[in-house]
Structures are given as structure tokens and as C-alpha cells.
Amino acid sequence: MPTILETDPRYAELDEYIEQVKENKGVLIGVLHKAQEIFGYLPIEVQHHVAQKLGIPDSTVYGVVTFYSFFTMKPRGKYQIKVCMGTACYVKGGNKLLERLREELNIKGEEPTEDGLFSIHEVRCLGACSMAPVVLIGERDFHGRVTPDMIPQILEEYRKKEEKKDENKES
């Protein structure tokens, strides 16, 4: 019976990347970034695989993953929604945005939606206080002066993006 490593094409993609960089010094963080890009998160199985491929202890990989906040061991949505809860955003209704997002997406905490599209993350400050309250989707899509009533429309934009991608795959 084939193992997950033999049947999951993501491991082959990761192995290809590791082969390109493994002779260089200090590649662990770069490899982990690539692994998280491929898998969406870094479960123990992926960490073990990276350790074996790089010839380093599992504990070293685990130590790096748990030290840096940009690595996660839990699945996240394709579109990570960061809701600013810094002082300016909180005072101007950041908590109400968070409530509305959780209601619209029917999720608690930071787990992804059932379709894997979204996850919600509270952050302390996004550095855009003049546009408070602020929501950041992904790494670049800032939405400023957001009201709870704007949330359904914002989410719909991203759902439509996915529909278009699916349509393009089918054609």
C-alpha cells in the first residue's frame, strides 16, 4: 500500500525545491516557507519530512516552526483575514467587524471555513490607524474604514475570484 508521501504530489514539489537549495547554508527557514506555501501549514509530518531531507533533527525544525509567528502548525484559510484590534481600530469598531466576520463565515477562533477559503485572525496593529477600523486580507489587500455592513460584500469579492479561477480551470 503506498504511503501518503508517495501519493501526495505536494511532497514531490517540496522535494524538488529542497534539492535545489539543500547544499546552501541556512536554508531551513526558506524551506519551511516553501513547505507552508505548498501545504498551507506545517503539520508534524511535513516537519519530519523536512528534517529528514535536510539531515537535521526533528527538534531543530520544530524549534524554528514554533519560534517564528509566521509559521503555523494549524490549517489556515486560503484568504487569511486579519482584523486589527489595535487601539484606534478597536475604538472605531474592530470588535464589531470580528463578530460580523465570524457570523458570516460561521467559524470560531482561527480555524478555516469548511470550504478552506477563509480564516480570521485578530492582530494587534496593522499600521494603518488613519483608516481605522482596518481589515487585511492576505498580505496586501487593505480594507479601511470598514463597517460591519460591508463585510458580506468584501467576502463576496473573494468568493467571485475563486469562481473565476474554477471557471478558467474548466475551460
Per-residue pLDDT tens digits for 19-61? 999 999 999 999 999 999 899 899 999 999 999 999 999 999 9
- Flag whether pLDDT at 1 surpasses 50: no
Residue 97's pLDDT is what?
Answer: 98
Strand residues in the chain grouped as ranges (E): 79-84, 118-123, 135-137, 141-143
> How many degrees, rounded to 5, is the angle at CA 169 between CA 168 and CA 171?
65
Q: Which amino acid is at 42?
A: L
CB 137 within 8 A of CB 119: no
Domains, the chain, in order of start with CATH, read 4-67 (1.10.10), 79-170 (3.40.30.10)
Considering only the C-alpha atoms of the chain, give the largest distance between any 2 of them, rounded to a whole number of Å: 58
pTM for this entry:
0.74
Q: How does pLDDT run across 120-149, given as a tens digit for each residue? A: 999 999 999 999 999 999 889 999 999 999
How confident is the model at residue 40, as a pLDDT?
A: 87
The pLDDT value recorded for residue 164 is: 85
Give me the DSSP letters along 7-56. H-HHHHHHHHHHHHHTTSSS-HHHHHHHHHHHHSS--HHHHHHHHHHHT-
CA dist., res. 24 & res. 107, Å (int): 42
Burial class of residue 126, CB neighbours in 10 A (0-12, 13-18, 19+): buried
